[in-house]
Structure 1
Amino acid sequence: MSIGKYFTNLEENSIRTNISDFVHIGSFYEACREIFDEEDLLPNNIATENANEDAEKREALIKSEIVQLMEVEDTTIDELGTVCNPDKLMSGKLPDEMAHFDLAKSLPKGGEHLMCLGFRRAEKMKRTLGVVSSYHKNRFDIKHGAKTTDKDIDILDQPQVVVSVAFLEKNVKFICKVDREILVLPEQALSILLDRLVCVSDLQVPNECSENPDLPQDTRFESLFKSSFLFIEGTFYNDFSDPLCTDLSQPIIKWAQERNLEGSESFKTANMDKVTIADLNVRLGYPYLYQHQGDCEHVFMFTDIRLLHNEDCQDLNAYPVVIYKRVRYMNICQICNERVSRWITKEDTHITSDPGFFCERCFKMLHYDKDGQKKGKFLAYPYMDLGVYN
């Protein structure tokens, strides 16, 4: 989506029925205090009783449907639920012992004949050898974006507002889907949102490396082109966190005013580091724009403003936290069909497809001789697959 098409679609988006009126984020808490007592706004007092009641109703409804389908009594379903309870799957070992058991090294005693354990051991060995999996040893880290730390956890013991921000991404069918959803605190700077956004454009290496693939790859686009902005309700919030940053909004404002686009005469600029989330006046569900690397654009929207409750992450130091991240498919090497691609080639005479994706080993074996000299004609670029962030 070009910046011109973004401005053209603003009027069309404004008539959508699922977009709220303007909401000043900093005033949300005061509005809640006018309705509820302050004690009722504490995280531990915002219970999930309604959610539990709804869950019980759903379970009762599912149970009644199963009774009708199986044509049995309620007591039979209760007995099956007890017998088939996942707790019955536990072995004789204590849970703590099983948590520290390394299946990649050896199979548990007495389980050598179990094929499922053998396959699982082989899978763990593959991961050890470099095949990246979508599994993670700590699901909580992925869900909340939290890192293990020895610092004291600052528990939120007072009413707290949290804002949900969703970044969207187009797929190959040009359908926008949520790439990740972030919970942020109103008192945090607007620029902190970008710390939780991973874009492949920032991670790519700018050099063509076919002549010498062993050159250091420390330089990334994010270190060369650091300028970016967030466009929210007619204001360009520029990133000036680095001396190399420039104001990307000025040529866009000039372009819009020359074409007399609606609202272009009132465009403003600001420093995103000096503006907090609470300062914003936004519409929930309305698409806004983040642009970096010159023409790399991301649509995002504020989806919810609410009070923090007892099921949210209570660690103040962990915010902003990623509460949803889309699982990506990885580009596997087209030669061995096992390892993740580390190189991408273009105009490659060794293969019939363009571009080509190769792991480190297959790339060098196919494109270079035993002395490391280039064979044939091709262009090679280091490739960063976002699937490895699963």
Structure 2
Amino acid sequence: MERIHRPDSRPWILAGSVKINELIETWAQNQVMSELNINEHNLKDFVKSELQIDDQMMILLEKDSDVSNLDCEGDDEELYVAYEKTFEVPSNVNLETLRLQKQHIERYAIDRCYRTACLQSLRYRNQLIRVDKNTHSDVDSITSIERPIAIITVQLYRPIRFSTHFGNTHRYSFVCDQELEVLSSQWLTELRDTLTCVSDISNASDCSLNPKVALTQTAADVYKSGLFFINNTFYNDMRNRFNRDYSEPIIEWAKNQERGIGTFEKKLMEETKLSDLEIQLGYPYLYQHQGDCEHILVFSDIRLLKPCVDSMDPKDYPKIVSTNRRTQVRCGICNLNTAKWITFDNQRLPENPFFFCETCFYSFNYDNNDMKVNPFKAYPYLDKSALL
């Protein structure tokens, strides 16, 4: 796989792999356990002993390292928190840049299409950051850690779409959909159960004749198979006896030496912890589910669990740190409500596919009394319907 991804030519991929178990043992041998149990009561004593300074020097160090020294007079904090909180551009300055900035701010506030185009042109898209409210503030209630526990940051990307237009293949950009923090002591199945995808909550079959069926069962309830492909090893989810081994045909296909890919191994996801993995930070791994829904999975960081900073409750992990903003799709009829249904191959609609909200979907395609297909409306032109 290194021949395909060429990790040496990509600076964001860390050179060399990391065995998480060996890394944790190295931290333990280097006597880092005392640092893990530092709190606000013994922090000063620890710094004084490490730096070998007296009380007077410690007072000067606290004064110089105070966070108030980072503030500058005239800083407007709101400018960096939310772009929508605009500021007044001075009118008595004859600068072309300020005139264009004022014009941009005014149009950004009233023109939704212009605002969407501006957000899509950003190199780094805005993300919703979740505030960790589960962190223990009471130092006395924290139990001392017997051995180091690592926190691994995992990034899940949206599935990559390809479209061919006039003979040219167009590839959409990579978008990080979720960023999570997972403990090294947790199983891979716990990580998989936390990952969310729109294909899991969609309808698993055609529900044109009875739309109520879509509300009783989702695709995740029917198709529970999935796998992780990490470091030339397939980790299959076989907790359900009806789950399929997605890796079996791939392993058989890769046995051909002429392909030059090499042999792969397979293990069970429910019998593997994250501490058992050997990973490469920044390397693109694979998460596959729902048959052919493939996500890029990246381990971006690994660090120690820190009391007074991280939550000490294992139930808080895996924890979603940030999620990407999603574009709202409106109903194609009323253009007011958020779309909940999508229909395909309907000859009575101007677009294919077409998006409906809950009210417009039923009123346009079905009789409201018995929820049966109205032959004068949708049937037989409404071939497929799916719940968003």
| TM-score interval (norm. to shorter) | 0.5 to 0.7
Do the aligned partners of residues 44 and 262 (structure 1) sit closer, same or farther apart at CA in structure 2, a change above 3 Å counting? farther
Partner of 2:221: 223
Other structure's SS at 2:288 match: strand
Matched, 1:32 2:27: yes
CA-CA distance at 1:328 after TM superposition = 1.1
| Residues 159 and 296 in structure 2, CA contact (< 8 A), matched pair in contact too | no
Q: 1:288-313: CA deviations, max 9, x gaps?
A: 00111111101111111101233222
Residue pair 1:238, 1:248 contacting (<8 A) in 2 also? yes
State the secondary structure of the residue aligned to 2:152: strand
The aligned residue for residue 9 of structure 2 is 15
Query: How do 1:222-301 and structure 2 match up within 5 A?
Result: 222-258=220-256, 260-265=258-263, 267-301=264-298
Per the normalisation by structure 2, the TM-score is 0.67
Partner of 2:152 in structure 1?
A: 163
Match of 1:346 in 2: 344
Deviation at 1:351, TM superposition (A): 2.2
1:303 matches 2:300: yes
Other-structure match for 2:383: 379
Describe the shift of the 1:19–1:57 C-alpha distance in structure 2 as closer, same or farther (beyond 3 A): farther
Q: Deviations over 1:160-196 (max 9, x none)?
A: 3211111112577611121111111111111211111
Q: CA deviation at 1:350?
A: 2.9
Give me the CA root mean square deviation. Answer: 3.2
Give 1:239 shift: 0.7
Residues 203 and 214 in structure 2, CA contact (< 8 A), matched pair in contact too: no
Give the conservation status (yes or no) of the 8 Å contact 1:156–1:316. Answer: no
SS of the equivalent of 2:301 reads: strand
Indicate the residue corresponding to 2:97 in structure 1: none
Corresponding residue SS for 1:166: strand
Matched residues in 2 for 1:13 and 1:145: separation? 37
Match of 1:313 in 2: 311
Which of 331, 334, 337 is the matching residue for 2:335?
A: 337
**Structure 2: distance between partners of 1:299 and 1:12:** 16
> What SS class does the counterpart of residue 28 from structure 1 fall into?
helix
Matching residue's letter, 2:305 = L
Which whole-Å deviations, capped at 9, do the CAs of 1:32-68 have from their partners, x for residues lacking one? 2344542112364798x99x949545423xx3xx4xx
**Residues in 1 aligned to 2:28 and 2:2: alpha-carbon distance in whole angstroms:** 39
Question: For residues 316 and 218 of structure 1, what CA distance do their matches in structure 2 show?
Answer: 32
1:313–1:366: structure 2 CA closer, same or farther, 3 Å change rule? same
Does the C-alpha gap of structure 1 residues 279 and 214 become closer, same or farther in structure 2, counting only changes over 3 Å? closer
The structure-2 alpha-carbon separation of the partners of 1:289 and 1:215, relative to structure 1 and needing over 3 Å to count, comes to: closer
Cα pair 1:43 1:160 within 8 Å, conserved: no
Alpha-carbon distance between aligned partners in 2 of 1:348 and 1:232, rounded to the nearest angstrom = 42
Determine helix, strand or coil for the equivalent of 1:264: coil
1:197 is displaced (CA, Å) by 0.8
The one-letter code matched in structure 2 to 1:271 is: L
The answer to whether the Cα contact below 8 Å between 2:362 and 2:368 also exists between their aligned partners in 1 is no
Q: Distance in 2 between matches of 1:57 and 1:263?
A: 55
CA positional deviation for 1:214:
3.6
Secondary structure at the counterpart of residue 176 of structure 1? coil
SS in 2 for 1:328: coil
Look up the SS of the partner of 1:219 in the other structure: coil
How much does 1:10 deviate?
A: 3.4
Change in 2 beyond 3 A, CA 1:284/1:161: same
Once the two structures are TM-superposed, the CA of residue 221 in structure 1 deviates from its matched residue by 1.9
Higher helix share: 1
Distance change in 2, residues 1:275/1:364 (3 Å): same
Q: Is the 8 A contact 2:159 2:293 kept in 1?
A: no
- 1:160 partner letter: I
- What is the aligned partner in structure 2 of residue 190 from structure 1? 188
What is the Cα deviation at residue 15 of structure 1?
3.3
Q: Is the 8 A contact 1:155 1:316 kept in 2?
A: no
Matching residue's letter, 1:185: L
| Residue 215 of structure 1: how far off its partner (Å) | 3.9
Kindly tell me the number of residue pairs found equivalent between the two proteins. 294
Give identity over the alignment, percent.
31
Query: Is the 1:238–1:247 contact (alpha carbons within 8 Å) kept by the matching residues of 2?
Result: yes
Aligned position for 2:55: none
Whole-Å Cα distance in 2 between the matches of residues 324 and 33 of structure 1?
Answer: 30
Task: Give deviations 1:227-262, integer Å, cap 9, x for gaps.
Answer: 211111111111111000121111001112226333
Corresponding residue for residue 328 of structure 1:
326
Structure 2, gaps ≥5 residues long: 48-60, 78-127, 135-140, 162-170
Once the two structures are TM-superposed, the CA of residue 211 in structure 1 deviates from its matched residue by 2.7
* C-alpha distance in structure 1 between counterparts of 2:261 and 2:249, whole Å: 16
Structure 1 residue ranges (4+ consecutive) displaced by more than 6 angstroms after TM superposition = none
TM-score (normalizing by structure 1): 0.67
- Say which is worse superposed, 198-207 or 253-262, in terms of deviation: 253-262
- Correspondence 1:52-91 to 2 at 5 A: 53=65, 56=68, 58-60=70-72, 63=73, 66=74
Distance 1:161 1:42 in 2: 15
Q: Provide the residue aligned with 1:4 in structure 2.
A: none
Gaps of 5+ in 1: 1-6, 67-76, 82-138, 147-153, 385-390
Contact 1:145 1:318 in 2 (8 A): no
CA shift for structure 1 position 19: 1.8
8 Å contact from structure 2 (residues 228, 234) kept in 1: yes
